Structure 1
Amino acid sequence: MAASSTDLRPRRRPPGRVVDLHPISPGRLLSVYLILAVGLTGLAARLAWLQVVDSPRLQAKARAIQTHSQVPIGKRRTIVDRTGRLVALDEERYTLWAHPRYFNLPGDDPQKLRPPADVIERLAPVLAVPPASLEDRIGGRRSGVKLATDLDPDTAERVRELGISGLDLEAYPQRLYPQGSLFANVVGFLNLERVPQAGLEQSRDRDLKRHEAVLRMRRGADGTPLPEGLQAGVLYGDDLRLQLTLDARLQQVAQQALSKQVKQWKAKRGVALVMDVRNGELLALASTPTYDPNKFWKFNPGLFREWSVQDLYEPGSTFKPINLALALQEKAIDPNGRVNDSGSLTIGGWPIFNHDKRANGVIDFPTVLQVSSNVGMVNAMARVKRDRFWHWLHTLGIDAVPDTDLPGAVAGQLKDRQQFVSHPIEPAVASFGQGFSLTPLKLLQMHAMLANGGRLVSPHITRGLRSGDALASPASRSGVQLLDPAVTKVVLGWMESVVEKGSGKGAKLAAYRIGGKTGTAQKARNGVYIPGARICSFVAVLPIEDPRFAVLVVVDEPQGANAYGSTVALPVSRQIMEALLVLEKIPPSKPAAAAAATARPAA
């Protein structure tokens, strides 16, 4: 057997490539070094530029990306009455926009685009509108379609719960007036652009703007809010409310009674005011005709102003108690004195007579008020020096703008001193409330002065801003002392006799002592009396033993031969007083006091 031969010799590897090592030239090393040095220097310079020079811009850009800004929608503060009832408030409303190019339903692939019909099918029941209406609004438009406006918060939340991409809710505030027309003459309104147009909304615009800061919050890369990103004060909640002195309950009584009487007598307009004589707070300021501030565009713009603080009229006989107080203050008449009422007289060639053309003979001052004697007033005030008479009318502020927070208040008109003193007819007609003019608000202020012992208080309708549900208490007694309290007490007694025995009998309320004065004045325009045009009024003070309130009702141009202060204005005042006594819990007058008042001699 032949044996196999095996080659056991080692195999030779192919020769490998051998790189010859050569020394690098110094110039080449230097070039590499310079390139690296220049690169590092450039990087260092760029880093210094970014950190030192360009840092503010980069930080601002980063903050813009990281910071979420929420701009406030411009809400206004709430207005409440003296008991906290809502008078005006802002409620959030929404406008619904559609962007069909982004329509996508919950659970869909993010890239899937739904046709408008799929969205309308879900949206129509929520909005309570026919699907066809939504289809017409969208049409073939791709974005920016206004589907609905004036959506309430509940409806807006149901739209959000649908989770439909391509629907956008835009929030905006809407001013609401829950009491409707009840406070329109005082509060005013905002137009559709939220610009104040009348009343307190306009005069107290700065106070009613809610403090709202732009909310800026920094977020991390995943959207998580960063605590250090909140600025101081951004979470401050402005819950201030403007509180009025008016009482919605009394305002409603006054409004209803006044409206009924104005309609019955076919009058042009009317106003009823109630004032707390101790501090000047108005509990009611009702005016008719009026308007609904929630639908202001449906009404004549002439109704947007409150005429009781902006229009002048001659007060007539309701000013007679004021004049008698001035005569007593000057000691020109005696409380127990008398005057002769001949029924008519002539002053400077001008005839003056009583409203009924009757002569009442020699009468005392309570009777002068009871029968509303013009001739008796002329004879009484003739005992006051003319310059002193003018001085007092000026001191009472007839020709000055009253100190009040009521918007649009104006000054009255009073003849200048020279004309008043040199023409005898001027003080003569002024003695029974004509020849000068003022606003109903000013007349009420002066009767409040008689009621509170001679202090002239500032009429006002606001108690200021209060936080949350807190309510301010009534203001303390105030006012400037002008008349002797003893003088005003005498005149109040005379006014009580008007209700007990005179033209104010219709204002008597069982168990209560009330003082009052009727007035039926001629109406003048541009210095000329309008034939047949009258202004009827009635002013009351109660309770006489401790006066707290003054009530004034003025009705402009009632129609009919029997239109007088006692028939037109007095019934409204009586209804207001009945409600006022209940709401303010005024206890009945003491029987002894009432008996003493009844037994008091007329002098």
Structure 2
Amino acid sequence: MLRLGSPRRRINIGLIGMTFVLSIFAGRLIQMQGLESKVYAAAAADQRQHTETIPAKRGSITDVHGNELAVTVEAREVSIDPTKVPAAVRAGAAKLLAQQLGKDEREIAAKLSRTGTHYQLLARDVDPVVATRLLQAPIPALAAKKTYRRLYPAGDLAGSLIGFVGDEGSGLGGMEQAKNSLLAGRDGKKRVETGRDGQQIPMTSSERTAPEDGQDVRLTIDRDIQWAAQKSIGDQVRKSGAESGTVIVMDVRTAQIVAMANAPELDLNNWRKAPQSHYVNKAAADVFEPGSTNKVITAAAALEAGEVTPDTVFQVPDRIRCTDQVLRDAHAHKTESMTFRQAMAQSSNVATVMAARKVGSERLHRMLTAFGFGSTPGGGVPGAEAGLLPDYKKWSGSQNCTVAYGQGVSVTALQMASVYQTIANGGVKIEPRIVAGTKDATGRFVPAPPGKQTKVVSETTAREISTMLESAVGEEGTGQLAAIDGYRVAGKTGTANRYDARLGRYDGYTASFVGFAPADDPRLVVLSVLQNPKNGHFGGQLAAPVFKDVMTFAIKSMKIPPTGSAAPQVRMRAGQ
């Protein structure tokens, strides 16, 4: 007979094996729940806990009267978990999502088919109403996160000055970038416990740090005057076939910038489609040779040095030799006797060079520096450039002459507007300002400090130059098209050869006009510049009418009355 082994032995061996296995489990349990319980509890908590960012609301950018130029509104960020979208419903879901989100259906379908990931961003800046409608649709695993989006109610109004915000919420140009730290505020944080499906576990603890909303920034820009400036320069750019144009309106007494317009301008609601050249605030960043508008600085240097007076008579030919070059006036003429006032009114290059020779290059350079050439203007205008003012010791032979009438030195429109603000303000230069102040979350407005003041020339010199500039807009001047009925206007035309950096040579012209009104009690400076016009090129022909349009609108908008005084009787011609 077959004898079986003892069952007791098999049972004992089985029990020993089971005891060994259970002892391993027991040891592991002791390790996990006893010795290292805190470590594993922390690891489990870390798996459940997630930190979410609570976005801060970006502050608004407004004009000087509080009209919104950039504003933040609530939006949604719509996403989906593709792993939970059955293949049978993907096509229908993609079609519905594309219609509601304004996206390409093929793009949405491709995202829904990426089943190797639990997250696909479908759209940013979605209107909350649209997001709510989609969440109620039969689309599984759809989520909508609260965010904000930036809107620009005025479209292209002061577009390159305002700038824009990128997808990450940071300013990428203009005031949006320059004041980003103030506007952006500080995001908050929320720490919550979630399950495998990403939903918050009820009754679990959570930590929340509230966001700090950004501050509002109020500019010195007047929305209505800005609109008028953009329209006028835009119309003239198209009419003249110019490459671009700029207008600046500045308050004489405070140097606050009332308008800063460019043409073409950046449409902030479609900035992604615009060429990058439109991103640049040309009024502050584009550098050009100013031409005859620069003659006021030569005049200031000559008058301050006591070398000439407005009535000083020059015998002026239509050309003058400077080392190896012969420089000519704009129009041929016989040698004639001209007062310095007449020379300025008729924009004689030759007479200006003759006055500059009395001053000398060193003193002229010193005056150019005092007016701000070669240094970046303060005041917070984003992208402002310093221009180019070479050391007078490095001026070439011809440059010793041409700088006197604005060739061989480069400036920005902002710098040139500041020159005329200084003359109009009795010789006191005020640092230009673009920010009026800020408003915090409580609504408290904090005004910006006034611009730094510097005495550049005497009040007597400034007054004499003002009368000369008033003559330039008179019957014998080159700026007759800038005259405004009922108001006394002082100003100067500029027509300069334009240096094209792309070609590496001079090509075309810069036409400009800058002036102020009322001439005897100045309130506003207006400067207009057109770059590379094709239909005409003289500043008095192209830029002066823009000055007249903008200045007329501005003085009416600001309710600036005429003074009612008459221009003083002055000696224009020699022998009078």
What range is the shorter-chain TM-score in? 0.7 to 0.9
Corresponding residue of 1:462: 435
Residue number in structure 1 paired with 2:470: 496
Amino acid at match of 2:285: Q
Could you tell me which runs of 5 or more consecutive residues in structure 1 were left unpaired when the two chains were aligned.
1-44, 104-112
Aligned position for 1:79: 61
Change (3 A) 1:383 1:145: closer
Match of 1:19 in 2: none
Equivalent position to 2:289, from 314, 333, 353: 314
Measured in 2, the distance between the counterparts of 1:522 and 1:139 equals 59
Aligned to 1:110: none
CA contact (8 A) 2:491 2:516 kept: yes
| RMSD (Å) for aligned C-alpha atoms | 4.1
Partner of 1:445 in structure 2?
Answer: 418
| Residue 558 (structure 1) aligns with | 533
Residue 145 to residue 202, structure 1, CA distance change in 2 (3 Å): closer
Give the distance between the partners of 1:96 and 1:532, measured in 2 at CA.
52
Amino acid paired to 1:427: N
Give yes or no for the alignment of 1:297 onto 2:279: no
| 1:241/1:383 CA distance change after superposition, 3 Å | same
Distance 2:166 2:108 in 1: 31
The residue identity in structure 2 corresponding to 1:400 is: S
Structure 1 residues 59-458: aligned runs within 5 Å: 70-73=52-55, 75-98=57-80, 116=89, 127=100, 150-159=125-134, 166-194=141-169, 196-215=171-190, 234-235=209-210, 237-359=212-334, 361-420=336-395, 425-458=398-431
1:135/1:283 CA distance change after superposition, 3 Å? closer
TM-fit CA distance, 1:242: 1.6
Greater CA radius of gyration, 1 or 2? 1
TM-score by length of 1: 0.77
2:15 matched residue in structure 1:
none
Given the alignment, which residue of 579, 591, 603 partners 2:553? 579
Percent identity between the aligned chains? 26
Hey, what's the Cα distance between the residues in 1 that align with 2:501 and 2:141?
Answer: 65
Which has the higher mean CA deviation after the structures are superposed, 203-212 or 465-474?
465-474
CA 1:140–1:403: 2 relative to 1, 3 Å: closer
Deviations along 1:84-132, one digit per CA (max 9) or x if unpaired, are: 22222333332434558879xxxxxxxxx9x959x969x88994999x9
CA spacing shift, 1:236–1:329, aligned 2, 3 Å:
same
Partners of 1:428 and 1:140 in 2: how far apart?
72
Hey, what's the Cα distance between the residues in 2 that align with 1:245 and 1:390?
32
Q: Name the SS for the 1:453 alignment partner.
A: coil
For 2:512, what is the secondary structure of its paired residue? strand
Question: C-alpha displacement at 1:140, in angstroms?
Answer: 7.7
SS at match of 1:363: strand
More off after superposition, 314-323 vs 140-149:
140-149
* Change in 2 beyond 3 A, CA 1:129/1:202: closer
Q: 1:306 to 1:149 in 2, by over 3 A?
A: closer
- The alpha-carbon deviation at position 162 of structure 1 amounts to 6.7
Residues in 2 aligned to 1:262 and 1:386: alpha-carbon distance in whole angstroms: 36
CA shift, 1:586, in A, is: 0.9
The letter of the residue matching 2:61 is I
Secondary structure of the 1:500 match is coil
1:322–1:162 distance in 2 versus 1, CA, 3 Å: same
Query: Would the alpha carbon gap of residues 543 and 60 (structure 1) be closer, same or farther in structure 2, given more than 3 Å must change?
Result: farther
- CA–CA distance in 1 between the matches of 2:503 and 2:140? 71
CA drift at 1:155: 2.1
SS at match of 1:554: strand
CA spacing shift, 1:145–1:481, aligned 2, 3 Å: closer
AA at the equivalent of 2:365: W
Report the Cα distance in structure 2 between the residues aligned to 1:528 and 1:388, rounded to whole angstroms: 33
1:348-395, Cα deviation, whole Å (9 max, x unpaired): 242122101124722222211221111111222222133222222233
Q: Deviations over 1:180-236 (max 9, x none)?
A: 2222221222344545433233333333322222145899x995799xx877xx446
The total of aligned residue pairs comes to 535
Q: Distance in 1 between matches of 2:501 and 2:112?
A: 62
Partner AA of 2:351 in structure 1: G
Q: CA deviation at 1:332?
A: 1.3
Return closer, same or farther for 1:531/1:127 CA change in 2, 3 Å cut-off.
Answer: closer
Per-residue Cα deviation, 1:253-302 (whole angstroms, up to 9, x for no partner)? 11111111111111111111111222222111111123323322322222
Change over 3 Å in CA distance of 1:95–1:406 after alignment to 2: same
Does the CA contact (< 8 Å) of 2:311 and 2:571 recur in 1?
A: no
Residue of structure 1 aligned with 2:499, choices 524, 535, 543: 524
One-letter code aligned to 1:258: I
